[in-house]
Chain A
Amino acid sequence: MALKIVKGSIDRMFDKNLQDLVRGIRNHKEDEAKYISTCIDEIKQELKQDNIAVKANAVCKLTYLQMLGYDVSWAAFNIVEVMSSSKFTYKRIGYLAASQCFHESTDVIMLTTNQIRKDLSSPNQYDTGVALTGLSCFVTPDLARDLANDIMTLMSHTKPYIRKKAVLIMYKVFLKYPESLRPAFPRLKEKLEDPDPGVQSAAVNVICELARRNPKNYLSLAPLFFKLMTSSTNNWVLIKIIKLFGALTPLEPRLGKKLIEPLTNLIHSTSAMSLLYECVNTVIAVLISLSSGMPNHSASIQLCVQKLRILIEDSDQNLKYLGLLAMSKILKTHPKSVQSHKDLILQCLDDKDESIRLRALDLLYGMVSKKNLMEIVKKLMLHVDKAEGTTYRDELLTKIIDICSQSNYQYITNFEWYISILVELTRLEGTRHGHLIASQMLDVAIRVKAIRVFAVAQMATLLDNAHLLTGNVQRKGICEVLYAAAWICGEFSEHLDNPTQTLEAMLRPKVATLPGHIQAVYVQNAAKLFATVLKSQEGNTDSTAAQETSQLMIDRLPLFVQSANLEVQERASCILQLVKYIQKLQQKDVEIAEEVIALFAGELNPVAPKAQKKVPVPEGLDLDAWINEPPSESESEDEQPRAIFAKEEPKHSRPRHTEVDEKELAKRREARKQEQANNPFYIKSSPSSQKVYQEAPGVEHIPVVQIDLSVPLKVPGLPMSDQYVKLEEERRQKDRADKKKKEKKKRKEKRSGRGKRHDSGPESEEDITPAHMVDIVTEEMPENALPSDDDDKDPNDPHKALDIDLDNLMEMAGRRPLADSEKLPVRSHRAAEVLKSPAQDGDAESAASQEPKKKSSKEKREKKKDKDRDRKKSKEDKKKKKKHKHEEKGEDLLGGQAEEPVVQSEATSEVAAPPTSTTAEVSDLDFWLSNAPVPSNTQEAATVVAAAEAAPTSEVASGTAPDSEPDEPKDTETEETKSSKHKKKKQKKEKEEKEKKKKKKHHHHHHHSDGGGEESVQNGTVEEEEPLPPMSNYCLLAENSYIKMVNDIQGNLQDGSQVVVSVIFENKCDSFLKSMEFNVLDSLNSKLQRPEGSGPHDGLTVPFQLPPGVSNEARFVFTMQSIITPQKLKGTLTFIVKNEDSSTHEKLDFKLHFTCTSYLISTPCYSDAFAKLLESGDLKCSSVKLEGVVMPFHHLLARICFRHHFSVVERIDSCASMYSRSIQDHHVCLLVKTSGQTVSIDAKCDEPTLLGNVLDEIKQTFSQC
């Protein structure tokens, strides 16, 4: 052995280590790849050796090669080997390698579960730490599910080093396994107040990350965070919290009001720029959320803008950048405060730093007005010319278009200028935004009627000079513009000066090099132009001109008929034939122009981009339902169950395709879309949603627009937009002069029709009259379209699954405790009803304090809870009353909080006062926020409420259960969480209720039911009919006055001879339980697996201790020889009960019952495989009848599935086939039928003894109920 080690280390000396590898690579610069490939061969050899040190060295080198881009996934198994080394050195290497190259589809990951679990519970904190770090990088849904419970335990580890890592990794676990969020949340919340700042910071980090995606669920934590914010000195934590508040304020304006003051203080006091910046940011968020409500925050805005100006003026480019970034947020709601800093921002446009210029550009968007638009755009155009990189230039281009087109071209006074700008932009080289310019051209030409003449002239020039745009290959993006040009020239061809020339330009052979969709538009619009030309020429006496035009078409179109693009080909051949026919008629001297024109008659309206999506689906139309049943599946399925079982009752077969679940539907939809996309005959959505032809009945009432003739209509060649700026100046001057002259005369064209739109501009702009009185046609939307705008959400966002309501979990008892299905899985994820962790008891805060709980009977506890709740409620009402008083005195909330202990002592005349810590009070968000002004008339109501409340309070004090409407507390509670908007209403309602209550008092006594029972039903797996009752497989194992054990048994699929017994130990006494040892007497058939080296009769140490009131779960593995009969094993649990002064040894005997069911594993089975199995003839038959079963069929099935680990293969009416498999691969098939109260179960299995036992157990399950 020693020799081997020595040999191993000598071997190692000759191996290359990481440093040698790196050196080697550096020495082989020329043939690096070759050198590395020989290294990889060496590494492969090393990995084959037994010596773990050699392997670890190899894996370490692989990690380096991975960074260089080499795929090392082939060594995944070796990495796992190194991970499982007992030496920390190697373990760390293994985990590092795993974290660098493992991911969800790495198949060896599933082998690591047990190793990681072992490392997590290692006594060495660094083993645990390394495992947590590694896991955080490659956690998969399976790992998250299997290890969630272990990690949760680590959150309460004694070492803060482990705690903070465990807390942090929980976020990853939540992402992969969202079900863990609810059960883990109370503990996470508790960590917010951990004594260690690192742990606290980690908890803040995780909650901020969660809240960022689903802020509304975390509103109730606001008071706690507020407390942290005012107490913490750690800037990291502060920044996170302040950022979180920024996300929360939009949801709750009252929160914002509360925040302003402390944030302003921080802004004034902090020296850390990062903190200052985040404070400013959050204040801005607050101001945005308040902008509609409170006008009186100009001081805060001024403060922010002022601080930001300081940042922007700073020489540090980082601060400058961030200042601009934050400024753009203010801009949205308070444009005026920003506009006064226009000078600064324009200055930033000239900054040498591109990031800063981009930010300044963003700000410009909000700075423009009618007055300065031209000036700003001119400046931007200069930048466009100067810009070196295409990205920045493209950004400039989009910004120019954004700025000009914002709010329906609000700031554009001269559209000719705008068209000129657009045309100038087409001269940009290599821009990707051709389509953007094109769509603007189309939009303006369609919507601004007056500009069409000008636009058409410009577009004709563009078409004429098309070679300039298409000449260079690099300019591909820009040729999209021709699409718009061709379309505009065709559609508005009546405005063309020289249509023949344009027609000629559109039919040049060069056009054939354009992309297909543009050619298609060319062809179509050539036809429109042709119609116009025809019409103009037909009036002439000489018909040859017209015939020449037709000949031109006939000559040129065949080029397009040969196009590879189907669309082009189709249109061209269609139009070619049409022209040929026209030519024939022309030769007969038939007047045809009118008829040809009629082909393209009709106005068109712009349609809003989302119009199609917004058409509501008519009632009763289910787009996902089958129109006809699919033929293939149904036939075989219908026959199949009949053939198998001997006795068969007549049953109706019914189509059950509607039962297809959502996922399946989504998949099919996707497949259908795919199919459509590949189908050339399926019409796809067109790239521009705006060119939809429509008969427009509403065109007549679009007012005709007058054109100001101060602008020259004829612009030679390509226009220079600059001249418009000059012209505009002159025009404005003239306007002003005119105005002075005829002050009393109102100008005809002055905003008569469009007053509204102009009002929104700054006041100074009133002086500026638009050169064009344009009518902007608004985009059309379908009738009764839904205004919702949430169609942009990504359905694949992993955070969607984390949108879980956590409030109820944290507030008062009995509201909505964790449902059974929400318990964290312990190896197998199944329910644990009997599990009585303090968290489940409802009071989250009692879990936090882990205070010893008085052991009391269930009834007593329930009563207490009721009292508790009512007491709190009354307290709340009192507080409300108080609050009004505070308002009168103008007192702050924190003062109110300080008074709480007094309130508490008032109400606590009870016997056993359960812990009502301040956290409970603080979590009452509504109260916390309630120093916001309340309408005065509610005060009256509040006093009435308080008066009404007095009576019940005294009753609580006397110890009887309070009487009230059974559903009343729920009502008020839910209402309390609503925002202040409802406050008035709520209080009125409360008042009514109280009055009702008064009347009803002494009439009937109601015990509140726990409420949790009902609620959890709704959380359970709900089928289509009724909700299922909660179920649990945990059954009582043994109990005495100290401890209670419940257990569940699960087969281990990976090992056919193993079952896992999960035992939950619950400490029922006031003392500490420790040194628990679990032991059973092995039988010949079944043995408890003990660690290596321990004797066959040694007990197993339970790996935890139990403080009072706490429960925890441990797992024990048993090995089974035969699984066909049930077995019982006797066992003992020994433990030490430790009090402050004494400790005693105690023991508890139990009998562990292994049913045959526990060897079964619920395995899904497809109906065809099921049919094959039954037909194979290897299975033996057996059957059983159950009488007097009164429960819905789906409950019955659910019970069999749940208790006996079956899965439903298929269900038809009152008949279902089910399947399960044993750990030793016996197939068990059931056919369950019900009629009235009789249930008959026919079963088949390849092992008759097992089958008999399983059936007996099923029978027993149903005889119990």
Chain B
Amino acid sequence: MIKAILIFNNHGKPRLSKFYEHYNEDTEQQIIRETFHLVSKRDENVCNFLEGGMLIGGSDYKLIYRHYATLYFVFCVDSSESELGILDLIQVFVETLDKCFENVCELDLIFHVDKVHNILAEMVMGGMVLETNMNEIITQVDAQNKMEKSEVTSVLA
């Protein structure tokens, strides 16, 4: 199970937070801060797994992250997930974002967090991996965007 998916930038500013278990807002912020603290002080060329986030999970949980330019993508998962598998999943996620936003950059995530959520929803559902095939994800996202567009134009017409 994936317990949480966090995206924040090099300064710890959250760009997306998705918790698959309920925490109140303050705890969520604290988790983001703590995770940022743990992840940001690590060198570039060390491994992408991290144990010991106290707030989230406990001993069975790991933080698996990737760092792309200005953004950290962090997945908090338990031992039922394959570590390398999740790393691949992060890669798929980022590639999907790249396709959907056409050369994704931090600004896209800043201004369109809702879209990022929608894309993520096609990959992970309730903490479980739903789809790992990028083309399938993009097809579904596009179909929904098309629906949305047709609704918007019908309102304006």
Contact = CB atoms under 8 A, between A and B. Distances in A.
A164 B148 CA distance: 23
A136 B125 contact: yes
A136 B128 CA distance: 10
A354 B126 contact: no
A42 interface: no
Name which of B42, B45, B130 has the most chain A CB atoms within 10 A of its CB.
Answer: B130
Contact of A22 (B110, B152, B155): B110
A277 B49 CA distance: 15
Interface stretch (A313-321, A492-500, A559-567): A313-321
A543 interface: no
Given A104-B22, A352-B43, A274 B117 contact: no
A9 interface: yes
Nearest to B132: A236
Given A209-B1, A236-B132, A68 B14 contact: yes
Given A239-B85, A317-B45, A9 B22 contact: no
B26 A18 contact: no
Contacts of A404: none
Contacts of B88: 274
Interface stretch (B67-75, B76-84, B96-104): B76-84
B143 A168 contact: no
A198 B111 contact: no
A849 to B, nearest CB: 27
Interface stretch (A85-93, A1191-1199, A1208-1216): A85-93
A96 interface: yes
Nearest to A134: B121
A198 B114 contact: no
Given A69-B28, A277-B84, A318-B49, A168 B43 contact: no
B125 A274 contact: no
A355 interface: yes
B121 A133 contact: yes
Nearest to A202: B130
B84 A318 contact: yes
A277 B132 CA distance: 19
B142 to A, nearest CB: 11
Contacts of B112: 19
A1235 to B, nearest CB: 54
Name which of B45, B88, B117 has the most chain A CB atoms within 10 A of its CB.
Answer: B117
A5 B126 contact: no
Contact of A69 (B29, B127, B136): B29
A278 B82 contact: yes
Given A92-B118, A355-B51, A318 B87 contact: yes
Given A89-B148, A103-B22, A67 B80 contact: no
A132 interface: yes
A63 B114 contact: yes
Given A5-B155, A169-B126, A236-B129, A355 B46 contact: yes
A971 interface: no
A287 B156 CA distance: 67
Contacts of B29: 69
B16 interface: yes
B130 A67 contact: no
Nearest to A23: B111
A969 B105 CA distance: 67
A132 B28 contact: no
B118 A96 contact: yes
Contacts of B144: 88, 92, 126
Contacts of A60: 114
A317 B87 CA distance: 13
Interface string B1-44: 10000000000001011101010111011000000000000110
A192 interface: no
A137 B117 contact: no
A591 B31 CA distance: 67
B128 A356 contact: no
A69 B25 contact: yes
A126 B143 contact: yes
Interface string A93-105: 1001000100110
Nearest to B28: A69
Contact of B147 (A69, A126, A317): A126
A860 to B, nearest CB: 44
Contact of A67 (B14, B125, B147): B14
Contacts of B148: 88-89, 92
A89 B152 contact: yes
A206 interface: yes
A171 B148 CA distance: 30
Contact of B126 (A18, A96, A137, A212): A137
B19 to A, nearest CB: 8
B15 to A, nearest CB: 8
Given A104-B22, A318-B87, A93 B47 contact: no
Contact of A198 (B25, B82, B83, B131): B131
A844 interface: no
Contact of B130 (A23, A165, A235): A165
A68 B25 CA distance: 8
Contacts of A317: 45-48
A910 B48 CA distance: 62
Name which of B16, B52, B126, B147 has the most chain A CB atoms within 10 A of its CB.
Answer: B126
Contacts of B128: 168, 171, 202, 205-206, 209
Contact of A18 (B22, B45, B85, B111): B111
Contacts of A277: 82-84
Nearest to B140: A161
B134 interface: no
B129 A205 contact: yes
Interface string A230-273: 00000110010001000000000000000000000000000001
B111 A318 contact: no
Contact of A168 (B26, B49, B52, B130): B130
A172 interface: yes
B50 interface: yes
A1138 B94 CA distance: 50
B111 to A, nearest CB: 5
B47 A353 contact: yes
A693 interface: no
A66 B28 CA distance: 10
A139 B127 CA distance: 13
A64 interface: yes
A738 B68 CA distance: 65
Contacts of A358: 51
Nearest to B33: A69
Interface string A2-32: 0001000100000000110011001000000
B6 to A, nearest CB: 10
B117 A243 contact: no
Nearest to B113: A64
A164 B121 CA distance: 13
Given A132-B125, A164-B131, A353-B47, A273 B114 contact: no
A71 interface: yes
The 7 nearest A-B residue pairs measured at CB: A136-B126, A274-B84, A103-B22, A317-B47, A353-B46, A69-B29, A321-B47
10 contacts: A87-B151, A88-B147, A96-B114, A136-B125, A165-B130, A172-B126, A205-B129, A206-B128, A320-B47, A355-B46
Interface of A: 5, 9, 18-19, 22-23, 26, 53, 60, 63-64, 66-71, 87-89, 92-93, 96, 100, 103-104, 124, 126, 129-130, 132-133, 136-137, 139, 161, 164-165, 168-169, 171-172, 198, 201-202, 205-206, 208-209, 212, 235-236, 239, 243, 273-274, 277-278, 317-318, 320-322, 352-356, 358, 391
Given A18-B114, A355-B46, 12 more contacts: A69-B25, A69-B26, A88-B151, A89-B152, A92-B148, A126-B144, A132-B125, A161-B140, A201-B132, A318-B48, A318-B49, A321-B47
Interface of B: 1, 14, 16-18, 20, 22, 24-26, 28-29, 42-43, 45-52, 80, 82-85, 87-88, 110-114, 117-118, 121, 125-133, 136, 140, 143-144, 147-148, 151-152, 155-156
